[in-house]
Amino acid sequence: MRTPLCRAARVVTVVLLAACAAPRSEVAIARANDNRVAAGERVGDTLTLRLIAQRAKWFPASDSGPSITIGTLAVEGQQPVVPAPLVRARLGTLVRMSLRNTLTDTLVLCTPLSSTCAPRDTQPILPGATRELSFVADRAGAYVYHAVKLSGHKLIVGTELSGLVGALMIDTTDAPRANERIFVIHGWQKTGDDSGPFMLAMNGKMWPHSEHFDLAVGDSVHWRVLNATGSDHPMHLHGFYFRVDARGDLARDTLYAPNDRPFVVTENVRPLQSALISWAPARPGNWLFHCHKGSHMSGQQLYHLAGIAPPDSFATHDASDHVAKTMAGLILGISVRDTATAQVADAPPAARRIRLHAREVKQFYHDKSSAYAFALDERTPGDDASRTVPGPLLTLTRGEPVEISVINELRAPTTVHWHGIELESFYDGVGGWSGSTGALAPMVAPSDSFVARFTPVRSGTFMYHAHADEIRQLASGLYGAIVVLEPGARWNPETDHVLLFSQRGKDDSAIVALNGGEPADTIRLRAGKTHRLRFINITVEDDVSGTLHAHSDSTPLSWRVVAKDGMTTPAARVKPTPARVYMGPGETMDAEVTLGAGDYTMDVRSFNNFPVVLRVRD
C-alpha cells in the first residue's frame, strides 16, 4: 500500500552501506557529531586529515537506546562520528585527505571542490585500500562531502546518504561568528528500494534527542543547514522570520549581497544543497525549527528505529507524550528566555472574535474515509462556504487583535499552528511545547477548545494548519489560508486569488489538489487587471512546481514575485521573472500578473500532475 510515508520514501534514497555482509567483528560505537570541532591537523597553510571508513553502531535517539550499524567515517585513531568529521579550513588552505576503506564495498570519496563524483573521474578505493586526495580550498562556503559506493562503473545512487556524509566548511576568516552552528541533515533507510522505513537526523540525533537551544531575546544566531539526503527539506521556523544569507550546492556557495537577502519562515533545502540563515528571537518561549514534511517530523521514525511497525494514528491526549513520542526526526527545539529589557505587552482586548470548529465529515474522500475539516460560525470575506476542504479563508487586518477559538469536535486531539504569524509562543500551536515552563500549551482534546490570541504585524499570505499527527490530520483536511490585509483594505475577489495546494486524503488514491478541487479549478480573471496569485503549499510532504503559460505555447509568461511567506519583497527587488513556482510544504509565495484576454495554463507538477486553467476575459 502506498502510504504518505512511502510516498516520501520514494525520494529519500538512503542505503545502509554496511548491510553488505561485512565479516562479523567487534563493531565500534559512533557518537553524534555536533559539528563544533574541526577535524585534522593544520600546519601552516595545510590541513591534513586521515579518515577511515568503518562499520559502527549509530544511536540516532538516546545514547542508551536502539542503534543501527552503518558505514561511518572516523579520524584515524579516534571514535567514528555521525555525521562524518567536520572538515574546516580557511580559504586557500591545501587540504590533504586520505581515506582508508575497511568496508567490504568499493568507495569513492566525493569532495565538492575536487571532483564532481561523476563515474569517469572517480578514484575507486577498494576494500582494504587507502587513497589520498588533495585540493586547495578555493571557494568559501559550506558543502556536503561524502563517500559513495562504487559498483562496476556505476556509483550506486543513495549509498552516499548513509553515515559517510559530512560538512566541508571553507572560511574567509579565522574569527568565529557568535552562535554560528553547522547542521548536517542526514538519514538512513532500511532498504535500498526507496520504500522502506527511514529515519532522519540533524547532526546525528533525531528529535526529541536532537540539540536543544537556550537563547535569550535579542541573541543572533547564524546556522548553516546542509542537506545530505536525497529529499527536499523545507525547513520552517516557528514564530520568527529568518534571513537567508547564502545558498549553495556542491559546486559553489553564494553569499547574497546585503540587500538581496530574503526573509522567510520556510526555506526549501534541496538534496546536497546548503543554506546559511540568520535570525534573532524577539519573543520568549519555546519554538521549533523543523522540516515541514509530515513523515520527516513524525514519531513513526522512533518506531522504525525500534524495529516496530508504527501505529496508524499518532493522536495523543497527553501533551508531554505529544512532544516525546509523536514528533521525531528533523526538529530542533529552541527555548528563548526573557531578558530584563524585553517587554512583552499584554494582548489588548480583541475586537474580532472568530470561532473555528474542527469537524469530521464522514465518507468524504475516494476511499470513503472522513475529512477533518475546519468550519466557521460566520463567513469571512473571500471564503467559499461551499467548500469543506480546505478550511475557510481567514481574512484578518494588520494591527487588529484577533481571538480565534479552536473548538475540537473531532474524536482525536489536535492543535492549530498559525504558520508565519509572529505571535506569543503560547498560541503557536504545539501542544506540550509552545509557551514556557509552567505554562505550556495543551493539546486540544475532543469536546474541548483553545483560544489563540494574536495581532498580525504584517499583511500577507499565511496559513493555519493542524500541528498534531500531521500525516493523518494534514492529509485529512485540517488547514486553510490566512490573508492579512492592510488597515482599510478590503478583500477583492476579482483580483485576489488563493491557490492552495494540499493532499486529499491519506489512502492510495490521495492526490495533490488545488483549493481542494478535483479536477483543479478553472480560475476566471479579468483581462488587463493586475491579479495577485497567493500560492500556498500545505501538502503533507509533496513539492509543488508549476509554469504559467499560454494554452498554445509552453514558454513561461512573466510575473512579479511580490512576497514570500507573507514577507513583502522590497520594491527595488521586484522585477519581471519567468512565471515559475517551486514550493515545498510550508511555503507561500505571492505573484502579480497582468494578462490579456485568452486561455492560460499552469502545469502543476507534484505527486500527481494536473493543469490549472486561467480563463482571462475582457
Binding site for Cu ion (CB under 5 A): 233, 291, 293, 296
C-alpha 389 chain-centroid distance:
23
CB of 87 within 8 A of CB of 49? yes
CB of 614 within 8 A of CB of 558? no
Query: At its nearest, how many Å lie between Cu ion and the CB of residue 431?
Result: 21
Q: Which residue's CB is nearer to Cu ion, number 236 or number 359?
A: 236
* Cα–Cα distance measured from residue 351 to residue 396, given in angstroms and rounded to the nearest whole number: 12
Closest residue to Cu ion, based on beta-carbon distance? 291
Query: At its nearest, how many Å lie between Cu ion and the CB of residue 234?
Result: 7
Task: Read off the amino acid at residue 438.
Answer: G
Q: Which residue's CB is nearer to Cu ion, number 296 or number 504?
A: 296
Sign of CA dihedral 439, 443, 449, 453: positive
- The vertex-214 CA angle with 229 and 31, nearest 5°, equals 45
Query: How would you classify residue 438: left for phi > 0, otherwise alpha for psi between -120 and 50, otherwise beta?
Result: left
Q: What is the CB neighbour count within 10 angstroms for residue 152?
A: 8
Query: Nearest CA to 165 among 182, 148, 143, 145?
Result: 145
Q: Which residue's CB is nearer to Cu ion, number 80 or number 83?
A: 83
Q: Which residue's CB is nearer to Cu ion, number 201 or number 520?
A: 201
Query: At its nearest, how many Å lie between Cu ion and the CB of residue 227?
Result: 8
DSSP strand pairing (233-237 vs 285-291): antiparallel
Q: Which residue's CB is nearer to Cu ion, number 198 or number 454?
A: 198
Query: DSSP letters along 242-288, please?
Result: EEEEEEE-SS-EEEPPGGG--EESEEEE-TT-EEEEEE---S-EEEE
Query: Nearest CA to 185 among 213, 209, 161?
Result: 161
Q: Which residue's CB is nearer to Cu ion, number 382 or number 585?
A: 585
* Cα–Cα distance measured from residue 497 to residue 523, given in angstroms and rounded to the nearest whole number: 9
Q: Which residue's CB is nearer to Cu ion, number 141 or number 585?
A: 585
Q: Which residue's CB is nearer to Cu ion, number 238 or number 534?
A: 238
Query: At its nearest, how many Å lie between Cu ion and the CB of residue 8?
Result: 8
Task: Read off the amino acid at residue 23.
Answer: P
Q: What is the CB neighbour count within 10 angstroms for residue 572?
A: 8
Query: At its nearest, how many Å lie between Cu ion and the CB of residue 145?
Result: 21
Q: Which residue's CB is nearer to Cu ion, number 40 or number 271?
A: 271
Query: At its nearest, how many Å lie between Cu ion and the CB of residue 200?
Result: 6
Query: At its nearest, how many Å lie between Cu ion and the CB of residue 245?
Result: 21
C-alpha cell at 473: 490530520
Element counts in the chain: helices (H) and strands (E): 4, 47
Query: Nearest CA to 231 among 17, 8, 511, 6?
Result: 8
Query: At its nearest, how many Å lie between Cu ion and the CB of residue 304?
Result: 15
Query: At its nearest, how many Å lie between Cu ion and the CB of residue 291?
Result: 3
3 state DSSP class of 324: helix
Task: Report cis status (omega within 30 of 0) of the bond before 176.
Answer: no
* Cα–Cα distance measured from residue 246 to residue 261, given in angstroms and rounded to the nearest whole number: 8
Cα separation values, 229 from 79, 200, 409, 575, Å: 23, 9, 39, 33
Query: At its nearest, how many Å lie between Cu ion and the CB of residue 584?
Result: 8
Query: At its nearest, how many Å lie between Cu ion and the CB of residue 441?
Result: 24
Query: Nearest CA to 198 among 339, 293, 79?
Result: 293
Q: Which residue's CB is nearer to Cu ion, number 105 or number 470?
A: 470
Q: Which residue's CB is nearer to Cu ion, number 247 or number 293?
A: 293
* Cα–Cα distance measured from residue 408 to residue 411, given in angstroms and rounded to the nearest whole number: 8
Query: At its nearest, how many Å lie between Cu ion and the CB of residue 463?
Result: 18
Query: At its nearest, how many Å lie between Cu ion and the CB of residue 553?
Result: 36
* Cα–Cα distance measured from residue 200 to residue 204, given in angstroms and rounded to the nearest whole number: 9
Q: Which residue's CB is nearer to Cu ion, number 233 or number 532?
A: 233
Query: Nearest CA to 240 among 567, 616, 494?
Result: 567
Query: At its nearest, how many Å lie between Cu ion and the CB of residue 185?
Result: 7
Q: Which residue's CB is nearer to Cu ion, number 49 or number 200?
A: 200
Cα separation values, 17 from 27, 162, 165, 289, Å: 14, 7, 12, 29
Maximum Cα–Cα distance across the chain: 76
